């Protein structure tokens, strides 16, 4: 296991120098944030990012994520060009020696919350979701009222996309995902890149849009679509854990036994009602994710990939990107390493930051 940390590039308020000081964190999870969705990622831009990360004494471990163009998810006739360009971006990753790609296949929106700063009893704030609150959001004004998506789509753009998805139910979305993976996964295998789909967050339909990567059966169906080790998953405990029907340790064990967990996102959520949750501190007892059981399953099935703490609360007066402050995620990284050491003895020698 390699402990990693997400970094939003040079504009991230958390500098790489601080990430380097979190004991045991040796890898960075990042992306190119100024490329239009669907365009090819250039080797030069990725090499610049890699060099910046290297210069801080860290390694560029995971690309999270290369967005999948809506035309691919919608199954439009233009999708083949975007699929070719997606493959080209994967080869560019390979050229700079980044071997894990986290991506998702959620229509229009990826992660969705209704409150980015819910006040917790200890004075911290956390991301929260309430399906009733979501259903009251008026999308006829674009994404302006949706927390975290203010600038994403104007009203006409969003209306057109929502209309296009009226013909795409879950079954069709699976077909479109299959079409995509049948073409991209073999190319990823040739490039030596492992694809790791991120589960839908939250793991249920929102705004009438289909969501399909929501539980263990879906993740197993996914890896069966194209039977190559390059076609794998990101095991995100927070996303999957928002649905109490998901038995996370047994899901991790089944997927891990098949060698298809290529990346682990470990965070905790407190489920407070039907389709209602807020994020909570990483340790098991503060939420509904049995973190020890998940790590035990990963450990027992020989997990060697990157892991990162996922969203953190905002604590100690920190201001910054909701979910992606330094302090609580650093606490999460330490907790996860403590659990891992309890299971394994220690991190593998070459995964630790050189002294
Ligand atoms: Mn995640």
pLDDT tens per residue, the chain (355 residues)? 999 999 999 999 999 999 999 999 999 999 999 999 999 999 999 999 999 999 999 999 999 999 999 999 999 999 999 999 999 999 999 999 999 999 999 999 988 999 999 999 999 999 999 999 998 988 888 887 888 887 778 888 889 999 999 999 999 999 999 999 999 999 999 999 999 999 999 999 999 999 999 999 999 999 999 999 999 999 999 999 999 999 999 999 999 999 999 999 999 999 999 999 999 999 999 999 999 999 999 999 999 999 999 999 999 999 999 999 999 999 999 999 999 999 887 665 444 433 3
| 77 CA distance to ligand 1 middle (Å) | 31
Residue 149: count of CB within 10 angstroms of its CB: 20
Contact predicate 291/267, CB 8 Å: no
Tell me if residue 18 is catalytic: no
Specify the pLDDT at position 354: 37
Question: CB within 5 A of ion ligand 1: which residues?
Answer: 236, 265, 310
Specify the pLDDT at position 355: 31
Tell me if residue 310 is catalytic: yes
Catalytic annotation, pick one of 71, 87, 130, 198: 198
Going from N- to C-terminal start, the domains of the chain cover 2-351
Specify the pLDDT at position 183: 98
Tell me if residue 265 is catalytic: yes
| 238 CA distance to ligand 1 middle (Å) | 6
Specify the pLDDT at position 154: 85
Beta partners for residue 4, in sequence order: 27
Q: Which CATH architecture has domain 2-351?
A: Alpha-Beta Barrel (3.20)
Residue 330: count of CB within 10 angstroms of its CB: 20
Catalytic annotation, pick one of 236, 282, 327, 335: 236
pTM attached to this predicted model: 0.95
| 212 CA distance to ligand 1 middle (Å) | 16
Specify the pLDDT at position 138: 86
Specify the pLDDT at position 145: 81
């Amino acid at each position: 296991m390699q402990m990693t940390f997400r970094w939003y590039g040079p504009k991230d308020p958390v500098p790489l120098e601080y990430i380097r000081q979190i004991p045991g964190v040796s890898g960075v999870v990042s992306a190119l944030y100024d490329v239009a969705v669907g365009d090819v990622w250039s080797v030069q831009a990725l090499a610049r990012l890699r060099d910046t990360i290297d210069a801080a004494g860290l390694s560029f471990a995971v690309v999270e994520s290369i967005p999948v163009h809506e035309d691919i998810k919608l199954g439009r006739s233009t999708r083949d060009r975007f699929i070719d360009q997606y493959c080209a971006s994967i080869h560019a990753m390979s050229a700079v020696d980044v071997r894990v790609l986290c991506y998702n296949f959620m229509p229009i929106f990826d992660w969705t919350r209704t409150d980015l700063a819910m006040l917790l009893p200890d004075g911290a704030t956390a991301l929260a979701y309430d399906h009733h609150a979501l259903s009251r959001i008026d999308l006829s004004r674009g994404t302006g009222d949706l927390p975290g998506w203010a600038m994403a789509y104007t009203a006409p753009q969003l209306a057109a996309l929502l209309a296009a998805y009226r013909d795409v139910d879950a079954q069709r979305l699976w077909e479109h995902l299959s079409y995509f993976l049948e073409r991209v996964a073999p190319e990823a295998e040739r490039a030596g890149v492992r694809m790791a789909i991120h589960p839908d967050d939250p793991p249920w339909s929102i705004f009438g849009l289909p969501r399909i990567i929501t539980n263990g059966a879906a993740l197993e169906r996914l890896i069966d679509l194209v039977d190559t080790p390059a076609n794998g998953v990101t095991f995100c405990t927070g996303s999957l854990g928002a649905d109490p029907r998901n038995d996370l340790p047994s899901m991790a064990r089944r997927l891990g036994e098949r060698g298809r967990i290529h990346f682990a996102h470990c965070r905790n959520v407190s489920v407070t009602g039907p389709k209602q949750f807020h994020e909570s501190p990483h340790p098991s007892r503060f939420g509904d994710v049995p973190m020890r059981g998940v790590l035990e399953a990963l450990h027992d099935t020989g997990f060697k990939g990157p892991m990162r703490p996922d969203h953190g609360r905002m604590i100690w007066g920190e201001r910054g990107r909701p979910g992606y402050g330094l302090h609580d995620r650093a606490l999460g990284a330490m907790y996860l390493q403590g659990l891992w050491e309890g299971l394994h003895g220690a991190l593998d020698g070459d995964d630790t930051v050189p002294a």
